């Protein structure tokens, strides 16, 4: 018996077996973050209703909010027309999606030839993750 759902085979995984995944706030429609998923992360996301990703830097699966408490509850999982990008429509618990303590990861804007931080830190990352 095959435990891998057939719908996973419809995703066009890159050479590393990953697909980019955009998390979008269900209420505001703001783009919160871009992360990567492998098959296990996408299956866990669909099975649990909470966003799971593949950390390229740590080379491991992780559940969004596992250390911060800022879980992403998934309302919808969508696949784009080329089948090579995932959109997660989520409820962002605690209103913080970024490890910098901001509401979303896209807090820098190109302004007069330089990147400027244009969104506030909502909570000090040391208060979220500790000093380590």
Which tens digit of pLDDT belongs to each residue from 55-92?
999 999 999 999 999 999 999 999 999 999 999 999 99
Nearest to 74 by CA among 100, 51, 97, 42: 51
Would you say 21 and 80 are in contact if contact means Cβ atoms under 8 Å apart? no
Domains of the chain by range and CATH? 6-121 (3.10.20.810)
Cα–Cα distance, 63 to 34 (Å, whole number): 14
Cα–Cα distance, 25 to 27 (Å, whole number): 6
The residue to which tokens 């080379």 are assigned: 59
Question: What are 116's strand-pairing partners?
Answer: 109
Q: Is 44 helix (H, G, I), strand (E, B) or coil?
A: helix
Kindly indicate the confidence band of residue 2, based on its pLDDT and cuts at 50, 70 and 90: low
pTM of the model: 0.92
What are the C-alpha distances in Å from 16 to residues 45, 55, 65, 90?
19, 12, 24, 26
């Amino acid at each position: 018996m095959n435990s891998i759902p057939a719908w996973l085979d419809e995703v066009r995984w890159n050479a590393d077996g990953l697909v980019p995944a955009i998390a979008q706030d269900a209420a505001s429609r703001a783009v919160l973050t871009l992360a990567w998923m492998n098959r296990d992360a996408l299956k866990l996301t669909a099975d649990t209703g909470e966003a799971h990703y593949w950390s390229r830097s740590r080379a491991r699966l992780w559940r969004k909010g596992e250390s911060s408490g800022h879980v992403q509850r998934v309302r919808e999982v969508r696949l784009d027309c080329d089948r090579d990008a995932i959109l997660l429509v989520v409820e962002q618990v605690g209103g913080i999606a970024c490890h910098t303590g901001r509401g979303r990861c896209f807090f820098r804007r190109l302004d007069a030839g330089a990147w400027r931080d244009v969104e506030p830190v909502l909570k000090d990352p040391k208060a979220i993750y500790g000093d380590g």
